Amino acid sequence: MTGQFEWSMWSIGLAVVTWSIVIGALVVIPFRRSPAAAQGWLLLFFFQPFAALALYFLIGDARHPKWRRERIKHVPGLVKRASQDIPGDVSDAAASLPPKSRTAARLVRSIGQLPCVAGNTISLDADYNRVVDRIAGDIEAARSHVHVMFYILQDDEAGNRLLSAMERAARRGVKCRLLIDAVGSANHRGAIMRRLAGTGVEVHLILPWRIWRRATRADLRNHRKIVVVDGLVGWVGSQNMHRMEYEPNTFYREVMARVTGPVVLELQSVFVGDWYLETDEDISNQDIMPWPEATEGKVRAQVLPSGPDHPDSGIDTLFTDLIHAAGDRVVLTTPYFIPNEPLSLALRTAVAKGVKVTLFMTATTNSFFIDHAQRSYYDELLYSGVEVMLYRERFLHAKHLSIDDDIALIGSANMDRRSFELNSEVTLVVYDAGVVRQLRRIEDDYRAKSRRLTIEEWEKRGFFTQLAENAMRLVSPLL
């Protein structure tokens, strides 16, 4: 009898705790979250309340810890000071843009603070190994400083080219600073730190995971890829610094932009802000923000930093706005596609208005969960008329968007919640028909190596495949 009573009390106690967790989740979870994200969390709390509670404490709040948020408050002023040397005659470039581009430029500046600037030269490069060689070559020519930031940096064939060039530059007296993400570069960060010790290259980890003093979040990462040489040459895009075959039998395809002109100073400003966040050191000064003696380029562009350090609005706001503004064509390339509702609606609405919308994606991702989650969005896209092209040759890791014939976005952001809310990203926004033509040639090559997914093929997938897609769809806002 006593045993039955104790068991009954344990059962009642467990039920009270379980329902307290669920009711608490109903109160807390919907606050300042999208309906989709709230739905994903609440489903998890209803089915696995204790596991959900532990997971929520780890990654539930898409904000940095308090100490980091306090430091972030200083970044806008620091970035503004770092970019204030850009002369007004080029920083007012948005005024001469066509209405659609001018509106976009105002939105980009509102989100990321950096203006549209004229006088740039921008070349796109989709040759993986050539990009590595060209970046190393630019570093070899450095005279003043080299600033490098990568989400993934490995001490392999590609990483060695970069690190060796930085080591040689440091021996010449060039000031070299390197930031690598502590989680993205986890496999090689120790070896890199040991290799660079005593070389003159100053290296810091971005957000090393800690659960005690100055705690950090493991899921809030810096996903940016930036190289700045002497404040005169910059690189930005999707490519990390590792060999092309990053995973066994998985060869990456990327797109990077090499930039010269005033927009390089905007990439420099982003690096200055990230360096401050990791070191509490303000490195902004006129030596690293040189104004080029002659701006031979004619391209108008601006840089958009986004992420938890810019919490008021994200890169998805720009994507959605530009798709709504498109009049003729939208081409979107991403390895990971888990859109929020506004972005998904924008794509469907564009098709309804007569805009040709093409989505290039890799045929198979490197994640079972993401692969099935993003497939769950194909149905509505295909039936609305979006052209879904599955790239077959390699793992298509490039991230870019072209709107009509005059706007191009190249950067580090995927089309998923992680890039929209959790990762620090950087995007180069270009208002130039010539750069769009460069991107079109790359997109044409994708098309030649892709197959179009048809509604007929899509409807033939099996029951268990559909079941996996639907299950992953429910939790896709958490991926």
Any idea which residues carry the catalytic annotation?
Answer: 223, 225, 230, 397, 399, 404
Contact 11, 18 (CB under 8 A): no
| 393: its two tokens | 């040759």
Kindly give the pairing relationship between strand 329-333 and strand 175-181.
unpaired
- In the numeric block, the tokens 């290296």 are attached to 203
At 477, the amino acid letter reads P
**Quick one: CA dihedral 418, 422, 424, 428, positive or negative?**
positive
Kindly give the pairing relationship between strand 117-125 and strand 299-306.
antiparallel
Which of left, alpha, beta for 136 (phi over 0: left; psi -120 to 50: alpha)? alpha
Cα–Cα separations (whole angstroms), residue 458 to 49, 270, 364, 450: 35, 42, 15, 16
> How many whole angstroms separate alpha carbon 181 and alpha carbon 425?
12
Burial 423-452 (b: 16+ CB within 10 A, else e): bbbbbbbbbbeebbebbbebbeebeeebee
Considering only CA atoms, which of 130, 117, 112 is closest in space to residue 90? 117
Burial 268-304 (b: 16+ CB within 10 A, else e): bbbbbbbbbbbeeeebbeeebbbebeebebebbbbbb
Helices (H) and strands (E) in the chain, counts: 19, 18
